[in-house]
Each structure stands twice: as structure tokens, then as C-alpha cells.
């Protein structure tokens, strides 16, 4: 069995994914982990991701109404603007965007000409200015319907895709200007264990493995970095007052090699 990124030989680990019931395999060559058998995850996502979600709850509505400074993901737009040379009235395609949290930011900062969200479950759909939903898996969509896409976005979705090589080749057919993504950083030990055991993730990336993967598909790197959130964190509680102080002061995120997330932006 060979690594889907660099084709080096994989080694079976002691880490068994509780959702898939599958062993994780490690690639020493590019420092990545993989599950080698594709599973039917439709029932899992329907139960865990979709049935428990309600956009109309108080918290979700409040996020949409508050200013950018209150939004924990506003730093993503700053990153995209800094390295993506963003102008107004671009066409966005977000894969796995649920109800459109990033759309809320882009609408206030960028005024997209069109913002398409690929999200299989219709319960996430909203009627908003220049916002369109495609209620299918990306792999099942005729991509010829997507015209003049400038930017493709994908936040914590890439690790859920089994055929990452086929996926990246499909994206190239859209000829977008930029591709921007965020994934867990498996170099961080706590993130690695949580990702390997308790999430429906087929792949677990390090910075090294991402650089090798995208170079293989002839994507041109603009920037890749490791971030450590300060005002939001999956493993520790951040007090509300401190949370907003950090966001207002511009210290929402810091950057270090052992951070919990990897984010990158490439041209295709």
C-alpha cells in the first residue's frame, strides 16, 4: 500500500478510526496519515452534521448580524486578501460551506458578484444577495455549469475527501484564479490524535505533505502557514470578554509551526 501523496510505502499504525472502523496508515516520507478504504459516510453526516444543525437558532442568527470583529473566521478573509489580491465583484465557489459563514464576511468586505456554496443538505439554504446553493456532493456535479470561477474555498473539507488526487485535477478544469483551503495540522500531537481517532477524516496532513501534494499537481504556491487560534479554540475554553478583546485588537490568531490548523492559498 502506497501513500496517495508521494507514493512511498505506508506503515500501519496503532490508531484505529472510531467512525470508519479502519486503521490509519503512516507515510514517513511526507509525514502524513491515511485511511486506505473508502467508506459510505452518508448516514453519519446526516445524523451528526445535518440533523443537529439549525441555522435559525439564536446563536447562528446572532453571528450573521454582528460585526466582522465578532466573527471568529474573519482572519480567513484577511489572509485571502493579503495573498490573493482580492478585488470587488469576484465569483466565489465554496465547497462544503454549510449556511455560508464565510459568505457573510465576503459580502461585507468584498461584495461578490456570485457566491456559490456546494452543500448537499438543503436545510442549510438561505436566500441572500448573490448567494446560490448547489445541493449535491461536489463529486456528483457537472462542473461545466460553473462559469468564470475566480476563487475556490474549502475550510476543513479536504481531509474528508477520499480521492484527493482526482479532486485536485477536477478543480483545475474550473480554471479558478485562486484555491484557498484550511485543514487540521497533524504535526500538532493533540490535533493528530483527535483527527485520527474521532473524526471522519481520510487524510491527515502536515505542511510538508501539502507542499508535495500540490506541487505534484502543478499548483503554484502563494502562501502556506500554520495558525494557532487565540479567540476560538477546539480544545480549550476562551472567556467571552477575552475572546472579543483579542478580535478587536487583531490578535485573533498567531502563527507557529505547531499550530492546530494549516491554511494555504495556491494558483492553478
Closest CA relative to residue 100, chosen from 74, 64, 137: 64
Separation of alpha carbons 200 and 248, rounded Å: 34
First-residue to last-residue Cα distance in the chain: 29
Which letter, b or e, does each residue of 211-220 get, where b requires 16 or more Cβ atoms within 10 Å of its Cβ? bbbbeeeebe
Global pTM reads 0.87
Question: What pLDDT shows up at residue 99?
Answer: 81
Q: How far is CA 131 from CA 14, 115, 156, 172, in A?
A: 44, 5, 21, 23
Question: What pLDDT shows up at residue 91?
Answer: 95
Question: What pLDDT shows up at residue 41?
Answer: 80
| Beta partners for residue 178, in sequence order | 151
How many other CB atoms are there within 10 angstroms of residue 42's CB atom? 10
Question: What pLDDT shows up at residue 247?
Answer: 66
What are the structural domains, with CATH classification, of the chain?
A: 40-183+217-267 (3.40.50.150)
pLDDT tens sequence for the chain (268 residues): 999 999 999 999 999 999 999 999 999 999 999 999 999 887 777 776 655 555 455 454 555 555 444 456 677 888 888 887 788 889 999 999 888 888 988 888 889 999 999 998 888 888 999 999 999 989 889 888 898 999 999 999 999 999 999 999 999 999 888 999 999 999 999 999 999 999 999 999 999 999 999 999 999 999 999 988 776 666 667 777 776 676 666 666 766 778 899 999 999 8
Separation of alpha carbons 13 and 25, rounded Å: 5
Separation of alpha carbons 220 and 31, rounded Å: 21
Burial grade of 112 (CB within 10 A; 0-12, 13-18, 19 or more): buried
Residue 157 contacts residue 137 (beta carbons within 8 Å): no
Closest CA relative to residue 78, chosen from 68, 66, 90: 68
Separation of alpha carbons 224 and 147, rounded Å: 27
Question: What pLDDT shows up at residue 71?
Answer: 57
* E-only strand ranges, 144-194: 151-155, 178-184
Burial grade of 67 (CB within 10 A; 0-12, 13-18, 19 or more): exposed
The string of DSSP codes covering 203-247 is EEB-HHHHHHHHHHTTPEEEEEEEEEESS--SSS---HHHHHHHH
Amino acid at each position: 500500500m502506497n501513500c496517495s501523496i508521494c507514493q512511498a510505502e505506508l506503515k500501519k499504525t496503532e490508531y484505529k478510526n472510531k467512525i470508519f472502523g479502519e486503521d490509519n496508515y503512516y507515510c514517513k516520507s511526507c509525514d502524513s496519515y491515511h485511511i486506505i478504504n473508502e467508506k459510505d459516510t452518508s448516514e453519519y453526516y446526516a445524523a451528526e452534521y445535518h440533523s443537529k444543525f439549525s441555522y435559525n437558532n439564536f446563536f447562528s442568527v446572532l453571528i450573521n448580524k454582528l460585526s466582522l470583529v465578532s466573527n471568529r473566521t474573519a482572519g480567513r478573509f484577511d489572509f485571502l486578501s493579503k495573498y490573493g489580491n482580492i478585488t470587488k465583484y469576484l465569483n466565489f465557489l465554496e465547497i462544503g460551506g454549510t449556511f455560508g459563514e464565510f459568505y457573510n464576511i465576503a459580502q461585507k468586505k468584498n461584495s461578490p458578484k456570485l457566491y456559490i456554496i456546494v452543500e448537499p443538505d438543503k436545510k442549510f439554504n438561505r436566500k441572500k444577495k448573490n448567494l446560490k446553493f448547489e445541493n449535491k456532493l461536489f463529486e456528483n456535479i457537472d462542473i461545466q455549469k460553473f462559469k468564470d470561477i475566480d476563487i475556490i474555498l474549502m475550510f476543513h473539507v479536504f481531509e474528508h475527501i477520499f480521492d484527493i488526487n482526482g479532486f485536485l485535477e477536477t478543480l483545475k478544469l474550473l480554471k479558478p484564479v485562486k484555491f484557498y483551503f484550511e485543514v487540521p495540522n497533524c504535526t500538532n500531537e493533540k490535533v493528530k490524535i483527535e483527527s485520527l481517532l474521532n473524526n471522519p477524516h481520510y487524510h491527515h496532513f502536515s505542511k510538508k505533505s501539502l507542499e508535495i501534494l500540490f506541487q505534484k499537481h502543478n499548483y503554484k504556491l502563494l502562501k502556506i502557514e500554520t495558525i494557532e487560534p487565540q479567540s476560538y479554540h477546539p480544545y480549550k475554553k476562551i472567556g467571552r470578554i477575552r475572546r472579543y478583546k483579542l478580535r478587536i485588537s487583531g490578535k485573533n490568531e498567531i502563527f507557529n509551526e505547531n499550530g492546530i490548523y494549516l491554511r494555504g492559498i495556491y494558483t492553478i
